[in-house]
Amino acid sequence: RGQMLLGVLGVLVLVGGFGSWAVMTEIAGAVVASGQIEVEQNRQVVQHPDGGVVTEILVEEGETVEAGSPLIRLDPVSLQSQLTITENQLYEVMARRGRLEAERDERMTAEFAPFLLEAAQTKPTVADLIAGQERLLAARATSMEQQIEQLGKRSEQIDSQITGIDAQQEALTLQLELISEELESQQSLLDRGLAQSSRVVALKREQARLKGQVGELTANKAQSEGKITEMQLEILRIKSARQEEAITTLRDLQYREFELLEKRQSLIEQLNRLEIRAPVAGIVYDMSVFAPRSVIRPADP
């Protein structure tokens, strides 16, 4: 009996104490999740989107920092190297574009992008690129002009030959007129028995020979005129081929230039993110990087 009384008394005390706590205690709030209860902590995880190699750790565990305070610096060497290579490729593409646009538009001087000209003021290699493309433009223009000049000279020579053919045809035409008159006279005399038939035959033979020469000269003239036409077409072909080559190459360069500009901008943004800063004011807690040359993977805390 004594034990039962003690047990009942203990239960009453337990129930009464829990009830009193429930009545007097105010519950501020709770987070209900699937199968668990969590207490929310005011903790800001610092991550880096690109990762990299640590060169300098600027804070220590437990140190108080302000929002924007630098925490860690990453090694810029690899990104700077990539940026230099990308910019050099971009400068070359832009320099080529300036020269090709001049060839497309049949201009003797190239117009380069302001971005390229600005870089040339501080970078001798870029100035050399521009000068090289200007020399190439002049050399290619000179080569084309020489080809056209040679074709022009050949055309003039053939034109002179045509002038000679015209003179020969004119002389032969005059001879034919004279022979025709003499043949008519001799034929009249032959009809009256006052001339020999051999003379008439000889005149007819000479007349036929001269007509043959006139026909041959006419064919030669037509052939020469055809050559001149071919040369004129060749001159047009040389000019159009240069323009078509420039247009085709420019189309490819535009895509390449766009890719390099995008890559350059991305690298610059990555370089600007090499210094990891505190997003909010607070106390440094639970550091995972402790020594230079440590590797931070993208999005690692």
Amino acid identity of 245?
Answer: E
Helix (H) or strand (E) run with residue 71 in it: strand 70-74
263 and 291 share one domain: no
Domain CATH number, residue 288: 2.40.50.100
Q: Is 274 left (phi over 0), alpha (psi -120 to 50) or beta?
A: alpha
Domain range for 55 is 46-75+274-301
Closest CA to 294 of 279, 282, 272, 276: 276
Give CA–CA dist 16/8, Å, rounded.
Answer: 12
**Tell me, what DSSP letter sits at residue 213?**
H
**Tell me, what DSSP letter sits at residue 297?**
-
149 and 133 share one domain: yes
Mean pLDDT calculated for residue range 102-123: 94
Give CA–CA dist 69/227, Å, rounded.
Answer: 81
169 and 244 share one domain: yes
209 and 295 share one domain: no
Tokens 């909010």 map to which residue? 280
191 and 221 share one domain: yes
Helix (H) or strand (E) run with residue 178 in it: helix 124-191
199 and 230 share one domain: yes
Give CA–CA dist 68/51, Å, rounded.
Answer: 19
134 and 255 share one domain: yes
At 77, list the tokens: 């060497």
Domain count, the chain: 2
Give tens-digit pLDDT for 235-268: 999 999 999 999 999 999 999 999 999 999 999 9
- Whether 102 is in a domain gets the answer yes
| Dihedral pair phi/psi, residue 33, rounded to 5° | -125, 175
Domain CATH number, residue 81: 1.20.1270
114 and 261 share one domain: yes
145 and 185 share one domain: yes
- Whether 14 is in a domain gets the answer no
104 and 139 share one domain: yes
Give tens-digit pLDDT for 192-247: 877 788 888 888 898 899 999 999 999 999 999 999 999 999 999 999 999 999 99
Amino acid identity of 284?
Answer: V
- Whether 145 is in a domain gets the answer yes
Tokens 């106390």 map to which residue? 283
Q: Measured in whole angstroms, how far is the alpha carbon of residue 285 from the centre of its chain?
A: 49
60 and 107 share one domain: no
**pTM here?**
0.67
- Whether 209 is in a domain gets the answer yes
The CA distances from residue 144 to 139, 238, 241, 245, in Å, are: 9, 7, 11, 13
Mean pLDDT of the chain: 83
Q: Is 298 left (phi over 0), alpha (psi -120 to 50) or beta?
A: beta
Give CA–CA dist 102/108, Å, rounded.
Answer: 7
279 and 261 share one domain: no
Give CA–CA dist 147/239, Å, rounded.
Answer: 10
The least confident of 16-20, 157-161, 165-169 is 16-20
Give tens-digit pLDDT for 85-101: 999 999 999 999 999 99
- pLDDT value at 17 more than 80: no
- Whether 266 is in a domain gets the answer yes
Contacts of 63 (CB under 8 A, 6+ apart): 283, 284
